[in-house]
């Protein structure tokens, strides 16, 4: 762990009260940890904006009765074989499947993969969870 630095800052009272309420409503035990994670969230957002190397998970829910959908989704993943690290499939019920696809690569390529799958007929939901490959967080 890096050396800790103490800072003081000025902030408008209403904004400070909002910070206190957010910290209390979250699972954070102190304001410093909340602010540290807020900064890290911002850094990860910037990695994605700047199309840097990132990691993520694409969570799909789809109707497996949709014609040809399973093979289309597999075909798309083969096209992004450099980004797709692993995937897990869950049979939700008689109709629906969920698939979690773990990805690593250029942020823009990951978004392109998620968008391409989202547009397939029969895909009901495609959520992209954006993570960091870690470089900017150290
Ligand atoms: Ni299934």
The 10s digit of each residue's pLDDT in 49-85 is 999 999 999 999 999 999 999 999 999 999 999 999 9
Instruction: Please tell me the distance between residue 89's alpha carbon and the centre of ligand 1 in angstroms.
Output: 6
For residues 61 and 91, what is the distance between their CA atoms, to the nearest angstrom? 10
Q: Kindly report the CA angle at 131 between 20 and 56, in degrees rounded to 5?
A: 140
Residue 60: count of CB within 10 angstroms of its CB: 22
pLDDT category at 27 given cuts 50, 70, 90 is confident
pLDDT above 90 for 137 = no
Q: Which helix (H) or strand (E) holds 136?
A: none
Question: Sorting pLDDT into bands at 50, 70 and 90, what band is 135?
Answer: confident
**pTM, to two decimals:** 0.88
In the reported structure, the alpha carbon of residue 75 is separated from the centroid of ligand 1 by a whole-number distance in angstroms of 16
For residues 14, 16, 21, 24, the Cα torsion angle rounded to the nearest 10 degrees is -170
Q: Separation of 130 CA from ligand 1 center, angstroms?
A: 24
Q: How many residues does the chain have?
A: 138
Q: Give 2's DSSP letter.
A: P
- Cα 107 to ligand 1 centre (Å): 28
> Which of the 8 DSSP states describes residue 98?
E
CA pair distance 95, 75, nearest whole angstrom: 21
d(CA 73, CA 33): 40
pLDDT reported for residue 112: 98
Q: Which residue has the tokens 């904004």?
A: 15
Mean of pLDDT values over 127-136: 94
125 C-alpha vs ligand 1 centroid, how far in Å?
Answer: 15
């Amino acid at each position: 762990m890096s050396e800790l630095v103490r800072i003081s800052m000025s902030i408008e009272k209403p904004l400070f009260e909002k910070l206190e309420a957010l910290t209390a409503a979250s699972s954070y035990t102190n304001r410093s940890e909340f602010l540290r994670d807020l900064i890290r969230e911002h850094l990860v957002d910037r990695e994605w904006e700047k199309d840097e190397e990132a990691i993520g998970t694409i969570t799909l829910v789809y109707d497996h009765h949709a014609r040809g959908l399973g093979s289309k989704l597999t075909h798309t993943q083969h096209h992004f074989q450099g980004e797709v690290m692993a995937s897990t499939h869950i049979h939700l019920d008689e109709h629906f499947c969920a698939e979690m696809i773990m990805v690593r690569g250029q942020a823009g390529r990951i978004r392109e993969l998620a968008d391409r799958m989202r547009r397939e007929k029969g895909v009901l939901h495609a959520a992209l969870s954006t993570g960091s490959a870690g470089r900017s967080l150290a």
